[in-house]
Amino acid sequence: MLKQIVVCVCNSVLVISIVVLIRTFTFDIRNDTISPCQQTEEHLKIDVETNPQKIDIFRQALRFKTISWSPGVYDTEELTKFRLFIEQTYPTVHKSPFVKYEVVANYSMLYTVEGSDKKLLPYLLTSHLDVVPVTEENWKFDPFAAKLYQGYIYGRGTLDVKCSVIGIMEALEHALKSGFKPKRSFFIAFGHDEEVTGYDGAYHIAQTLESRGVQLEYLLDEGLAIVKDFFKGLHPVAMIGVVEKGQAIVKLSVNGTAGHSAIPPPESVIGILSTAIRRIESNPQPDLFGTGAERAMFEHLAPKLPFLPRMVLSNLWLFRPVVSWVLSRQPQTNALIRTVNAVTKFNAGIKDNVLSDSAEAVIDYRIHPSQTLEQLFDFHLKIINDDRVKTTLKNYIAPSLISPYDDASFGYHTVKNSIREVFLDVLVVPGVTVGNTDTHHYKHLTKSIYRFTPSVLTPESTNMIHGDNEKISIWNYEKVVNFYHHVILNSDRDKMNFINKHVEL
């Protein structure tokens, strides 16, 4: 009997090993070869030496302090100045018979570019005008001086995300100057308060489009980027966000009785709330790796990796628990596989020797697309396990649906091929956007929503987004403009037959 068991186990191991090896060497996600655009006189990229004014325009845009502090609180004077600057800087766009321009909700901008073929659904390129606040003393240079130093431009908004605003406008201005007559209609939308929920800007743009009966072929907003040096032995990887995590802002509160600190109770309201927070932080939400688009991202990476990681990622049916454990060790990858939480506020106490009668904290949950709000709260309340701690939902944004990224997806492949034509030797994969963008305001206009910013990021530079010393290289900014130019030209067709020669900046 024992011998039979051993033989059975050995045979099972052998079969599994054969399956693993076969999948390792045969597993592949088709990644068509895209020829780079030819550098001819009819195909020129931006060159700082011959077009320094284009860099100057971008630097001027960075000097507008379009800061958003909180919902409804943003610098309206700077936003107005920035809007007027855009209007004056791109005369061809604003005088074109193909373009209708309007200001929405006082500070946001909406362009309608009319195409000749009304049977084709339009698309939308969107970005935002505002930026987050800065801590000036932590910066190497003035964050609003747009300092040019050693091939980089330093300034708030270089990465998030005035590079896209000006990049889109430069691309459209050049296309129209070159005689571009659009076949497919499209929209360009710039919200003015994305950094503080977007309900004053993008929400009203979306309502405007909906009131006109607009349905979109696809939408492209800011999001994931091209990452370099994140994966050992792998070329840079461009990640297109095909899904976005949700958000729940939750307030925890405990009420008690004020008193003198010389006669304290067994537990203070601060201690009770602190215990609840410790429990939340010590007990992560359930591991959901493999239930969403994060699995597709790693499977797209697998064929390009060295043998061992390729074997593991090609066989997630077997190695999923191992991969999940590895991903959970780093904050950046842990956010991909589960709902994560951050305690962002804690408020209690009025005096050193007075017992506080209340304590409050705020938790920001970023919700995995496979988890419902009910499931989140069930786990949350189970972990706290204390009726004295009251939970209140302050704000909720549902996770997005997964946008299509198969061979039939026009929008995904338009973005993908535009990336590879401009950035050349990159691997393009679907990904999960862990932060929130304005895209949730537009979700009723299309099922094909993509989140990608054409910035090249290293592990070090990711901290610059919303952080100190935000910067972009001149080389990268050139690529930003050329990427949007490719998107406009590649979208101007009725099917996915992409060409490789464009008149470019």
* pLDDT tens by residue, 103-159: 999 999 999 999 999 999 999 999 999 999 999 999 999 999 999 999 999 999 999
Q: Over range 150-172, report the average pLDDT.
A: 97
pLDDT bracket for residue 233 (50, 70, 90): confident
pLDDT score at 352: 94
Q: Where are the alpha helices (DSSP H) in 227-344?
A: 269-282, 293-301, 307-313, 316-327, 331-337
Q: Is the pLDDT of residue 375 over 70?
A: yes
CA dist., res. 144 & res. 389, Å (int): 44
pLDDT bracket for residue 474 (50, 70, 90): very high
130 is catalytic: yes
CA dist., res. 187 & res. 127, Å (int): 11
Sign of CA dihedral 362, 396, 337, 450: negative
- Relative to beta strand 246-255, strand 152-154 is unpaired
504 is catalytic: no
Torsion of CA 359, 362, 365, 371, to 10 degrees: 50
Whether the full predicted model's pTM is greater than 0.75, yes or no, is: yes
Q: Is the pLDDT of residue 202 over 80?
A: yes
pLDDT score at 453: 98
Number of alpha carbons in the 13 Å side-chain half-sphere of residue 439: 32
Q: Which of 78, 170, 173, 194 is catalytic?
A: 194
Q: Is the pLDDT of residue 364 over 90?
A: yes
Q: What do you get for the CA distance between the two ends of the chain, in Å?
A: 76
Q: Three-state SS for 433?
A: strand
Q: Over range 174-182, report the average pLDDT.
A: 92
pLDDT score at 27: 66
Cα separations in angstroms, 231 against 226, 296, 322, 458:
12, 16, 17, 10
Q: Is the pLDDT of residue 83 over 50?
A: yes
Lowest mean pLDDT among 250-259, 446-455, 458-467, 482-491: 458-467
Q: What are phi and psi of 282, to 5 degrees?
A: -90, -10
Lowest mean pLDDT among 32-36, 63-67, 287-291: 32-36
Q: Is the pLDDT of residue 372 over 70?
A: yes
pLDDT score at 41: 38
Convert the pLDDT of each residue in 318-359 to its tens digit: 888 999 999 999 988 899 999 999 999 999 999 999 999 999
Number of alpha carbons in the 13 Å side-chain half-sphere of residue 88: 9
To the question of domain 245-397 being in CATH 3.40.430.10, the answer is no
Residue pointed to by tokens 């304590």:
359
Say which amino acid occupies 443.
K
Biggest alpha carbon–alpha carbon distance for the chain: 87
Residues annotated as binding site for Zn(2+)?
A: 128, 160, 195, 222, 466
Convert the pLDDT of each residue in 6-32 to its tens digit: 666 565 666 666 755 666 666 666 555
Q: Over range 360-380, report the average pLDDT.
A: 97
CA dist., res. 191 & res. 164, Å (int): 12
Residues annotated as binding site?
A: 128, 160, 195, 222, 466
pLDDT score at 261: 87
pLDDT bracket for residue 49 (50, 70, 90): very low
Q: Is the pLDDT of residue 488 over 60?
A: yes
Q: Over range 62-66, report the average pLDDT.
A: 99
pLDDT score at 279: 98
CA dist., res. 113 & res. 97, Å (int): 9
Q: Quick one: residue 146, left, alpha or beta (phi over 0 = left, psi -120 to 50 = alpha)?
A: left
Q: Which CATH architecture has domain 52-243+401-491?
A: 3-Layer(aba) Sandwich (3.40)
Convert the pLDDT of each residue in 279-290 to its tens digit: 999 999 999 999
Lowest mean pLDDT among 41-45, 92-96, 252-256, 451-455: 41-45
Q: Over range 435-440, report the average pLDDT.
A: 96
DSSP letter (8 states) at residue 178: T
pLDDT score at 502: 43
Domain positions in the chain are: 52-243+401-491, 245-397
Burial class of 254 by CB neighbour count within 10 A (0 to 12, 13 to 18, 19+)? buried
In the numeric block, which tokens belong to residue 296? 């597709």
Q: Which of 78, 130, 221, 492 is catalytic?
A: 130
Query: Among residues of the chain, what percentage have pLDDT more than 90?
Result: 76
CA dist., res. 258 & res. 355, Å (int): 5
In the numeric block, which tokens belong to residue 60? 């001027």
